[in-house]
Amino acid sequence: MPKRQASEALEELDVGSPASKRSRFDDGPELNGNGASPSDEKLDDAPTTGDDADDDFDDEPSKAPIRQSAPTAGYDDLYLDTIDRNVLDFDFEKLCSISLSNINVYACLVCGKYFQGRGPKSHAYFHSLDVGHHVFINMETQKVYVLPEGYEVKSKSLDDIKYVSDPRYTKQEVMELDRKARTAWTLDGKEYTPGFVGMNNIKENDYLNVVVQALSHVSPLRNYFLLEDLSSRTELVKRCGILFRKIWNPRAFKNHVSPHELLQEISLRSNKKFTLTNQSDPVEFLSWFLNNLHLGLGGSKTKPGSSIIQRIFQGKLKVESQAITAKADAGDRLRFEEAAEVKTDINRFLLLTLDLPPAPLFQDELERNIIPQVPLTTILTKYDGVRAQEHLAQRKRYRLMHPLPPYLTFHIKRFSTNKFVSERNPTIVTFDARVGLDVSPYVEPSPADYPPGEPIWYDLVANVTHEAVRAKEDVADSGEERKTWKVQLKDKGRDEWVVCQDLFVEKTQKELLYLGESYLQIWERRRDPKGKRKVEKEKNIES
């Protein structure tokens, strides 16, 4: 309507007064013959400002967003071309990037971010409207939806994304992991070997990386996590199983994984004793980790062998102790006295600690600093049941007992701390990974469990080594040493050895494994050829 000039009188204009507003509680508006209400006829003349305009908006009901139960016919693959597989990384903790909630989390398949929910008021819904990203996957059910429409996508082209998010294996696939040499390729064409992939060192979590890498090559434990349903277990067990499955994923988008999700749960359960920002000891972490996995898998604190952790690693140790008397000379303090009482205990262990001889304080006769060496069999004599060690006011001697566990874990004690300083023993422990390790001299004979005199062979599976690196602060060299860890793993399919240090994975020679400062070793008991021992027993009986 044209603006009325101020000079014109209101009476001269043929303008009717606006229709009175009907009560919203009346039965309904009166309609003219053409179906329009009187107020519709005067719509252009109705006031557009003031309280009346606000009331008009209140009368209009808000429209609910349109939701589809199925895609429109002929548009089944709508928006699927916007998915970017190069930005998808499902290794990080499943938390909404807006609310930080871990409930009902969806991942945007276009940008890789996490959002909560998919309803009309959810963060994922608003993300689809604001940014124009429309394809989301539920991180728990692995179902893919298109937003804001809300229908589920059931295209076969998304199976690779679902598999990378939560890999699953058949029993036949698991049985062939150690039998065949497997090769896979990433999205960008890089070659990698499943099970031998790099692991992201977020800041100072390489102590955890080497332990997880080593445990993922303990075949019974790996097979259990790859095949069993862990949905009813604790969150620690579930996240460990997911990480194991991703390490052995033959269809991964990248040739590395990140332990971020597992690290967050470990930090929570350990009261921040083990975090991604502070360096920790791998042996301390391994001890904590195995015990918590044992409890998370339903294991008992008192009943031995109640979980797969104890069935794999737990063994028995015979400990004989005797009080050191005042009359004992300095030379024979560790010699057991036949007349004195000897106390015998049977203890159970998951780790065996091996003590290194003291490092020399001075240079050799040629005035060169030569790093001392000691054979692994020499430091294993701690468990031969003959040599004694002094502990507080007692002398003790140790010996392994049958039945031996399928896997033996050795902790080579290198670090010691006193009131003034923390010291590191650089002694090299020599061993031959090609031959194996015979532990029969360190086991209490038991004819009922194992024939006397026969060797008991163990083969090396993983060797965690320590490396001291000078810590540099900006440009200046502080002179302090920083601990770094790497792990040597055996590729059974190729009969080769691989060194993994964070994201770096490279081959190495088995003859050179002992050159590093070994700190943690896992040995696997060698299986006898089928029927070999039975035939030998029959021959001995006939003779």
Instruction: Judge residue 103's burial from the number of C-beta atoms within 10 Å of its C-beta, 0-12 exposed, 13-18 middle, 19 or more buried.
Output: exposed
255-291: per-residue pLDDT in tens?
999 999 999 999 999 999 999 999 999 999 999 999 9
Q: What pLDDT, on a 0 to 100 scale, did the predictor assign at position 63?
A: 56
Q: How confident is the model at residue 181 (pLDDT cuts 50, 70, 90)?
A: confident
Domain with CATH 3.90.70.10 in the chain: 167-296, 315-349+351-542
pLDDT tens across 361-398, in order?
766 665 566 788 999 999 999 999 888 888 888 889 99
> CATH assignment of 80-164, given 3.30.40.10, 3.40.50.300, 3.30.70.20, 3.30.70.3280?
3.30.40.10
pLDDT at 477: 52
Question: What span, in angstroms and rounded, lies between the C-alpha atoms of 390 and 72?
Answer: 80
Q: How large is the average pLDDT for residues 198-213?
A: 94
DSSP 435: T
pLDDT of 60 higher than 80: no
Amino acid occupying residue 201: N
Which pLDDT belongs to residue 473?
Answer: 56
Write down the H helix ranges in 340-477.
Answer: 376-379
pLDDT at 44 > cutoff 70: no
Nearest to 153 by CA among 88, 68, 65, 64: 68
Residue 57: is its pLDDT beyond 50? Answer: no
**Fold of the 315-349+351-542 domain:** Cathepsin B; Chain A (3.90.70)
User: Is pLDDT at 541 greater than 50 in this prediction?
Assistant: no
- The pLDDT, as a whole number, for residue 127 is 94
Of 140-144, 279-283, 391-395, 524-528, the poorest mean pLDDT is in 391-395
Task: State the average pLDDT for the chain.
Answer: 82
Judging by beta carbons within 10 Å of its beta carbon (0-12, 13-18, 19+), is residue 162 exposed, middle or buried? Answer: middle
Handedness of CA 116, 119, 123, 129 (dihedral sign): positive
pLDDT band (50, 70, 90) for residue 42:
very low
Q: Give per-residue pLDDT as tens, 423-476.
A: 888 999 999 998 999 999 999 998 888 888 899 999 999 999 998 887 665 444
- Pair 344, 398: CB distance under 8 Å: no
Q: What pLDDT is attached to residue 324?
A: 80
- Phi-psi category of residue 326: left, alpha or beta, with phi > 0 → left and psi -120 to 50 → alpha: alpha
Q: Which pLDDT belongs to residue 448? A: 87
Residue 90: pLDDT over 80: yes
290-339: pLDDT as tens digits: 999 999 999 998 898 899 999 999 999 999 998 887 666 656 777 776 66
- Please give the pLDDT value at position 421: 79
- Helices within 122-169 (DSSP H only): 123-131, 159-165
Expressed in percent and rounded to 5, the helix, strand and coil fractions of the chain are: 25, 25, 50
Which pLDDT score is estimated for 366? 58
CATH code 3.30.40.10 region(s) in the chain = 80-164
Residue 343 burial (10 A CB sphere; 0-12, 13-18, 19+): exposed
Helices first, then strands: H and E counts in the chain:
13, 25
Q: What is the pLDDT, as a whole number, of residue 47?
A: 42
Instruction: Write the pLDDT tens digit of every residue in 222-236.
Output: 999 999 999 899 999
513 Rama class: left (phi>0) / alpha (psi -120 to 50) / beta? alpha
What's the confidence (pLDDT) of residue 365? 60
What is the model's pLDDT at position 364? Answer: 60
CATH topology for 167-296 is Cathepsin B; Chain A (3.90.70)
State the DSSP code for 475.
Answer: T
- Nearest CA to 228 out of 215, 245, 214 is that of 245
CA distance 537 to 534: 5
Percent share of the chain, pLDDT over 90: 56
The whole-number pLDDT of residue 46 equals 39
